[in-house]
Every structure is written in C-alpha cells, then in structure tokens.
Structure 1
Amino acid sequence: MRGRSRYDRCGEKALLRGGNERVMWLSTGNDGMPEFEKIAKTGANAVRIVWLTEESAADLDRAITNALSQKLIPIVELHDATGKWDLLPSLVDCWTRIGCRRGDKKHQQNLLVNIGDEVADPAWEAGYKDAITRMRAAGIEVPLVIDASKWGQNIDQLQAVGPALVAHDPNILLSVHMWWIDGSAAAITRELDESVALDLPFIVGEFAHHAAYECSEHPFDHKTLLAKSVELEVGWLAWSWGAAENGDCQDDGPFDMTTDGTSAGLTGWGREVALTDPNSIKNTSVRPRSIETGSCR
C-alpha cells in the first residue's frame, strides 16, 4: 500500500474491479470453475472468494490457483462470523494455522486476505488491531482487508478509527459494504469524498442495486458509485455473480448479477455494472502486468 492506493509486487497501481462469488455454495464444487472464467470474460481484474474455516487447505489452494489462471486478483474472505464478533478470534486461528495458510504462503505475491465478513462490535478497533498483530506475527505478509461493522455498512466508523488502524499497520484495506437505507447519489458522493479526503485505503467490498433490508424499497444508485469510483480511484466488488443464488431479496430484486452464472446471463443492474455502463468493469478495469503475464516485464 502507498497512501490510499494498492500497488502490486511490480509497483503498478492495482485498482480493484470485479465481483464476489459464493464459492462455497456452488453446485459445481468449491474450486471456482467455471465461474471464475465467466467473471473474467467481463474484463474483471479481481474476485472476492467466499470461504469457510472448515474447508481444506488443498481446496483453497485450488480456488486461488483457478482465480489466478483467469487473471483475477484473489481476495479470500471467511464467512463463518458474519455479524458475530465473538467468532473473530476463531477466524484468526484459522488464518494462522495451515488450514487457511497454505494459500497465503504459496500465492502471497498476488493474494489479499479479507479477515472476516462483516464481523461487528463496539470493540472493533481493538479487536482488529489484535487480529492484525497475531496474523503478522504468524508470518502473514499479504494485504489484509477489514470490513466495517454494522454488517459492513458503518463507513462513519471507518472514517473515525480507520486512521488508527492504518497507523498500526499500513498494509491494510478498509472495506465498506454499501447496504445503506439511504443509497442516494448525494449520500454516496458525500461518503466517498469524505473517505478520500482522509486518505484512507479503502474499497467498496459489496454493493448491489438496493439495500438488503426491505430490498427494492431502498434503491442504491450504483451508477453514481461507478462514476465516483472512477473519479476518485476507488476499488469495488459487486455482490454477487450469481452462480450460487442469493437468498436475500430473491422475490424482490435479486442481488444476483446473472441468471445462470455466465456472462451471457447478465441482466439488469448486473449487466450495467459488468458491461454497459460507461464506468463498468468492461470499460474501466485494468489488469496489472503481474497478473496478466505473471512477470514484471
């Protein structure tokens, strides 16, 4: 990391553009194929891989390897403790033992580790400082992604205590999940401007076309997010690709970007985010040379 921007091992700025895939619930298995291939066809340069602590190191290695084979920066997140602060130490336990670590040592030049999905508590700052310290002491050197509390939504918290976490360890990315009741252009613009003014290294780790609560009653202006992210050089990952169907809002504007997990199956907001909007993945994603060729030359 340099300031609020992530650079790859060759010193090239890497602005994340891609999506999430619920790899653990794919009917085809948990190695990410052929889903990663389909995501890569949009021009994406990154994929956030939903994982669980109980899965094997060998399976995680295969999923990461498959993402890299499709020229996607792999971001592995553990989903066991979503909304459950008391389970954060168990996630760190996993990352510091071989069950999770095989992937981070083998692929550390290209990998990002999202410690846990939406782990939330008033003790967020102290808890994550401890988690970072434990993981670094275990030899984990990759950039660490840290979700905001309140189901990932609390960007005010990131702005308030994010600088202290960055001072504790500059090789981190703060991630906000924009499941906001107020998903207006004004709210998105205000919060992104404030975060950039603080020079915070952050990404939008999850978003769709409306909130997760009461669904379509609370639309999210994803087109403003796409445009502001280009202007401010903010990375983002849409939720989610859809080869493994989301249960949330299934009868009221599904979060799935696709109907069948293929690029041909992109519909509605997913098609806009991936292909047709002027600021879509297709039109703004750049793959670092290190990911594209495996070399800095």
Structure 2
Amino acid sequence: MKSHLSTLAATVSIFLLAPSPALSNAVDTQPRVLAATGLHVKNGRLVEKNGADFVFRGVNHSHAWHADRTDLALSDIKRLGANSVRVVLSSGDRWTKNDIADVRAVISRCKANRLICVLEVHDTTGYGEQAGAVSLARAADYWISVRGALRGQENHVVVNLGNEPHGNNNTGHWAADTKAAIARLRAAGLRHALMADGPNWGQDWSGTMRRQARSVLDADPDHNTVFSVHMYGVYNTADKVRNYLEAFTRAKLPLVVGEFGHYHPSGDTDEDTIMARTQAARIGYLGWSWSGNSGEDSHLDLSNHFDAKSLTPWGQRLFNGANGIKQTAKEATVYR
C-alpha cells in the first residue's frame, strides 16, 4: 500500500476471470527434497519445520513510519487473535533505513508475542511507475545487509522480497527480477521461506504472476517461495476473487493474500468473498493495516490512532467477523 495505484480495474476482468492454462495444467514432475530449516513449502503449501500447516491470519503494521508504536501494536494484534504480522521496513532509499539492530528487535518482539513475522521492504513499491521506487536488486542488497539478524530465525520469519515491486508498465520484468533476487538471497545463505509480491502494484491484474509462478518457484534452489497477491479495487466481484485463488490451488502453488482491504477508491473490494474463499481453501491472509494510514488510504486503518480498544468498522470486520481472525487463526506450533 502507501500511495497505492489500483488503476485499470474496469478493463482487467478478462485476465481475472479466465482460467490460466499455464497454471492449471502445470505439474511438478521433479519434486525437490528440502532439508527444512523452518517454515517451508511442501506440496504447494506453507508448513512449519515439523510439517504442520501454517495459514496466515494476521495484519500489516507500518513499523518503518511508526516504529514508536510497534511494541504495543504487536501485543495488541496478538491479543486480538492474530497468528502473524507483516512488518513494513525500509532499505533507506525512500525512508529511514531499518538497520540490523532494528530488524533484530522487531523479530524479538514478534517472537515474544508468539507471532510469525513477515518482513517486507517497502521502497520497491511501484518500481518503474512510482518516482523514487527502487528495484528488487536493491531490496536484495538490503536483505543481505541485515542477514545477521535473519539467520537462525527460519522457524519464525518469512522474508517478503519487496512490496509491490513492479507497477503497471513493466510487468514483463517481474519473473526475471524475482528469480534474480531469490538467487542472490540463497547465495548469501538465507534459507528462509521467501514471499514474492505480484506486479501491477501487487494486484497482478495482468495475470503475470499467475502465469509465471511455477517457473519462479522452480528457479528457487530451495523450492521455498510463497506468492502474494494484494486485493483491492481490482477484486470487486466474487468471480474475480475465486478465479484468482483457484488458479493457484489447482496448480498446487503456495499463495497468500498479503494485503487486502474492504474498499479502495478504484473499486469496492469484495472482502467477504476474500475471507470466505481463503478460509475454504486454507489460504493465508494479512489485512492492511493496523493504523497510521493517510490520505486516500486512511479508511484502511483497523484501529483508530493505534488504539486496540477502538477498532474501526474494517477492524471489527477483520478481527471479529465471519471468517475473521478471531474465528479462524491458529497459533504456529513452534509457539505451543
């Protein structure tokens, strides 16, 4: 999110409604054997080291812009029932860098609150379309610079390569750029489960990630990459939501809805279907976002002014509604 561009919603239905032969017919004929060091992909699902399924039921928190709120935010998010949190970090290219000490502290706070921690670098948002956005190569530089904080945390941390790393006009580079970033992190010794956001500001309305996810997963030497779609105005009907999710489940490819909301100026997101269909398919979701949004995104706050006792209507829906976090979240077995 953060100055999210969800354009062309009215013209992309054909991409979202049509089945993807490349995915639906794909067969992994050479399954790889992974010596699991923590969270990892197995048979198209994210599982823990002991093989137990892990399904994200959590929210996003904007640590990079509201670091002073993080300690209380994580404890409140856990108390409201979440099993995970996606934490916004900065490589220093667009906002103040979250250095190795800070990353180590965030991970420690996530573990203290028994939350699986997805760490994402936000400076890549809308690369190629958003002024100042940086490439996945720069994001890889950042992850390598803080690897000392990440090593040994494979049971508790997922590394999200870069937030919404391509805009709407450079989707053809998504697969190659993602593969290159994965290769660099693996060469640097990072064995974590990785998360790759789709292009088109995360919404993948072009179907680029949907068509090329298999090749990206197969290019990962550890075969340990999860794919993340962000669902806002593009996903304004049940059919669009269902068809996108089912393309991945049919192909046995690991998917999470890494961001979604209840409404966006570009369209009225079908959050009820997102929550119902992810629950039926055991797909993870992470709502955007705890608090601190501004401008056109201010309505996406889950709590008013970071106050867990004052949830917004969106917060009430996500935490306490049907197929919501309180009803469906299961704590990671590593904490039990």
Q: Same fold (TM over 0.5)?
A: yes
Equivalent residue number for residue 102 of structure 1: 148
Alignment partners' CA distance in 2, 1:44 and 1:92? 28
Alignment partners' CA distance in 2, 1:249 and 1:70? 27
Describe the shift of the 1:225–1:182 C-alpha distance in structure 2 as closer, same or farther (beyond 3 A): closer
> What's the secondary structure of 1:133's corresponding residue?
helix
Q: CA deviation at 1:130?
A: 1.0
Alignment partners' CA distance in 2, 1:189 and 1:152? 17
Paired residue type of 2:214: P
Alignment partners' CA distance in 2, 1:167 and 1:267? 41
How many pairs were matched up?
Answer: 279
Q: CA deviation at 1:158?
A: 1.8
2:324 to 257, 264, 280: 280
Deviations 1:31-86 (A, max 9, x none): x2110001001111110000011221111111111011111100000011111155
Equivalent residue number for residue 239 of structure 2: 186
Alignment partners' CA distance in 1, 2:297 and 2:127? 22
Structure 2 residue 176 is the aligned partner of structure 1 residue 114: no
Query: Cα RMSD between the aligned structures?
Result: 1.5
> What's the secondary structure of 1:25's corresponding residue?
coil
Equivalent residue number for residue 34 of structure 1: 72
**Structure 1: unaligned runs, 5 residues or longer:** none
Alignment partners' CA distance in 1, 2:297 and 2:333? 38
Tell which deviates more after alignment, 191-200 or 225-234: 191-200
Identity of aligned residues (%): 28
Alignment partners' CA distance in 2, 1:104 and 1:246? 30
Equivalent residue number for residue 49 of structure 1: 87
Deviations 1:198-237 (A, max 9, x none): 21111000000112xx25xx21111111111111111010
Q: TM-score if structure 1 supplies the norm length?
A: 0.90
Q: CA deviation at 1:27?
A: 6.3
Structure 2 residue 271 is the aligned partner of structure 1 residue 222: yes
Paired residue type of 1:6: L
Q: What pairs with 1:82-101 in structure 2 (closer than 5 Å)?
A: 82-84=125-127, 87-97=135-145, 100-101=146-147
Describe the shift of the 1:167–1:27 C-alpha distance in structure 2 as closer, same or farther (beyond 3 A): closer
Q: CA deviation at 1:109?
A: 2.4
Equivalent residue number for residue 164 of structure 1: 215
Alignment partners' CA distance in 2, 1:83 and 1:197? 29
2:116 to 61, 69, 73: 73
Equivalent residue number for residue 261 of structure 1: 306
Equivalent residue number for residue 153 of structure 1: 203
Describe the shift of the 1:182–1:44 C-alpha distance in structure 2 as closer, same or farther (beyond 3 A): closer
Alignment partners' CA distance in 1, 2:235 and 2:254? 23
**Structure 2: unaligned runs, 5 residues or longer:** 1-40, 92-96, 129-133
> What's the secondary structure of 1:263's corresponding residue?
strand
Q: TM-score if structure 2 supplies the norm length?
A: 0.80
